[in-house]
Amino acid sequence: MQAGNRVHYMDNLRALAMLAGVVFHASLAYSVLIHDFWPTADAGNSVIVDVFAWFSHLFRMPLFFVVAGFFAALLVQKRGIGGMLGNRFARVLLPFLVFWPIVYFTMGWLITNAAANVENLSPLLKMIKPWLANPDRPAAPPTLVHLWFLPYLMCFCILVWVVHALEFKAPGRWLASLKPVAIATVIPLVLVLPLYSVPAPHPAPESLFPQWWALVFYGVYFTLGYLLFHHARLLDRVKPAAPWLLLAALISYAAFLVLLRNTVVANPNPLVHVFKAALEAYVGFWMTLVCLLFGKQWLDRGNRIMRYVADASYWVYIVHLPVLFAIQYPLLDIEAHWVLKFGFSLFATLGIAFASYQLLVRNTVLGRFLNGTRRSRPNAISAHAESRAIG
């Protein structure tokens, strides 16, 4: 791909991946699988939620890191390694340092307030409430909450600088020479080991310290995106296989759900866990390819609405979880069907997040801090996309 080409589909896929995260987090309150471990877990839940939520979970963030790697390569070609690092420090590291403390302490306050005032506590809040009442309680270890992807993205960008400094030749030609069948079968094998090391479905690496499995797992996707910038025809070669990849992913995901529901958590069978890790790896990789292929076909054009969504998505993702929890905690005491609660909490969260973007961010210093200088001319979309905070 030439640096001057427009990359609407990558920018739009990035925005959709971010919004899918809002939907995913809103749905977890009504998930059966994670009911005992999610702060806003509601008494009303359904396996239907699990079917759709965990399916998106397997490829949402992998897709994001492919897009992030693609735009990192674009920045390197346009601005050089130093320019790419400077942009990522400004659009990734600094926003993380500013917003992480605000989000982290707000989430803590919301949990404390919910434990004290909500009558129908979730299982996790029932465990937390006596701990909060203990004046001698130990301090809870801090986490990166839902902003964990920013430090990992920064790590990958620094690794790009290290690779260039060592003049290490990336295996781009090897990747470009692979046949579509080999791409769809060989690359996911690398992902099985890191996924085997964690429970299924794989958790968010929210620990304050980097986790090796997440560095390998998401690093593979970041690298894939970086190489796709230089070998854009690779997607065209895989395109005929898109329907088969989608079908294989759906069948494999059905098998994954069956194993997930029938696995003994206390004493899992190692062979079954290997199989689950393999299914996770292949479903996630195949669906990431499908999203890239369909995105290139349907989203590779200028669209004012999608451009607005892309502009807003970074802010929306940063603020959505505290807003969502502030809405879902009171809903625990309201008797209503889970569909109504889910729909209300999701659309209220999105409404507040987008409204706050329009009023507080879009045309302000904060907007320039997150997204850089916004371009108004349609032919400037690519120039703006390359400087985005997380694209």
Which tens digit of pLDDT belongs to each residue from 250-260? 999 999 999 98
> How many whole angstroms separate alpha carbon 347 and alpha carbon 27?
12
The per-residue b/e assignment along 200-237, b for 16 or more CB within 10 angstroms, e otherwise, is bbbeebeeeeebebbbebbbbbbbbbbbbbbebebbee
Dist. CA 282–CA 288, nearest whole Å: 10
Over 60: is that where the pLDDT of 5 sits? no
Q: Please, which residues have CB within 8 angstroms of residue 375's CB and are 6 or more apart in sequence?
A: 381, 383, 384
**What is the mean pLDDT of the segment spanning 209-229?**
96
Please report which confidence band the pLDDT of residue 383 belongs to, taking 50, 70 and 90 as the band edges: very low
Mean pLDDT estimate for the chain: 91
- pTM flag (> 0.85): yes
Which amino acid is it at 41? A
For 283, residues 6+ apart whose C-beta sits below 8 A from its C-beta are 55, 58, 59, 249, 252, 253, 256
Residues 307-365: tens digit of each pLDDT = 999 999 999 999 999 999 999 999 999 999 999 999 999 999 999 999 999 999 999 99
Identify the DSSP state of 31.
B
Hey, CA dihedral for 359, 361, 362, 364, is it positive or negative? positive
The tokens of 228 are what? Answer: 């796709």
- Residue 265 — pLDDT band, cuts 50, 70, 90? low
Best CA proximity match to 304, nearest among 250, 381, 215, 248:
381
